[in-house]
């Protein structure tokens, strides 16, 4: 999840979800990148991914997405499709690091090919897509408050899939793609 955490910080920076002043230089896999300097944001991302990691290790997670939206709906999704092959592995750390470094560079380069986001009311969510067969035994929690009817929401934007890259490691597969209405 270290890779996904660094990727989320970079995406939030490169897509200008937050101003550049919110970020500071950081390093991962021998690459210089940017990480939020806002403690609440950094903690939120880290804690969310730790919870998702536990589900991933139980083979419950199919994919994770960083969804960027505004009042009109989803603007784009940055999707990490993950498959756990083995819990234990003997992969050489240098090979793993080189694979993640390559994927990270492709992700960084691709982010600059996307058109700028709309300027108003941009927000993000971290979403997980679970494997249906794995969640059958989860306990349903009753809602404590009645749900308010939602005002009519506009139809979702027509998002196109833009494959970026994938890696195959001895213990897992990871594919990264962006769902966006357009590129530059």
* Domains of the chain as residue ranges with CATH: 2-132+158-180 (3.30.900.10)
Instruction: Kindly write down the DSSP assignment for every residue of 126-154, as one continuous string.
Output: EEEEE-GGGSTTSPP---SSPPPPPPPPP
Query: Quick count: other Cβ atoms within 10 Å of Cβ 170?
Result: 13
Determine the angle formed by the axes of helices 93-111 and 2-14, rounding to 10 degrees. 20
Task: Please calculate the CA angle 107-179-50 and round it to the nearest 5 degrees.
Answer: 65
Torsion of CA 109, 110, 116, 119, to 10 degrees: -90
What is the residue whose two structure tokens read 């603007």? Answer: 75
- Tell me if 133 sits within 8 A of 47, measured CB to CB: no
- Tell me if 16 sits within 8 A of 117, measured CB to CB: yes
- pTM (two decimals): 0.80
Cα separation, 4 vs 103, in Å, equals: 11
Per-residue tens of pLDDT for the chain, all 184 residues: 888 999 999 999 999 999 999 999 999 888 899 999 999 999 999 999 998 888 888 888 889 999 999 888 889 999 998 876 665 567 677 877 888 888 888 888 888 888 888 877 899 999 988 886 655 555 545 545 444 444 444 445 577 787 787 777 766 677 888 888 765 5
Residue 108 Cα distances to 131, 176, 184, angstroms: 28, 11, 15
Q: How many residues are present in the chain?
A: 184
The pLDDT value given to residue 147: 45
- Torsions phi, psi of 30, nearest 5? 75, 10
Dmax (CA) for the chain in angstroms is 53
The pLDDT value given to residue 135: 55
């Amino acid at each position: 999840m270290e890779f996904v955490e660094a990727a989320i910080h970079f995406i939030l920076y490169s897509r200008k979800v937050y101003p550049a002043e919110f970020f500071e230089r950081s390093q991962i896999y021998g690459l210089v990148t940017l990480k939020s300097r806002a403690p609440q944001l950094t903690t939120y991302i880290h804690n969310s991914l730790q919870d998702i990691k536990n589900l991933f290790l139980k083979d419950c997670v199919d994919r994770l997405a960083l969804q960027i939206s505004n009042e009109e709906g989803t603007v784009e999704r940055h999707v990490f499709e993950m498959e756990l092959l083995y819990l234990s592995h003997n992969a050489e750390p240098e090979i793993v690091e080189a694979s993640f470094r390559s994927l990270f560079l492709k992700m960084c380069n691709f982010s600059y090919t996307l058109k700028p986001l709309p300027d108003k009311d941009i927000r993000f969510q971290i979403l997980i897509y679970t494997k249906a067969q794995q969640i059958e035994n989860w306990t349903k929690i009753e809602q404590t408050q009645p749900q308010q009817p939602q005002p009519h929401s506009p139809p979702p934007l027509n998002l196109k899939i833009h494959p970026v890259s994938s890696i195959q490691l001895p213990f897992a597969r990871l594919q990264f793609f962006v769902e966006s209405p357009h590129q530059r």
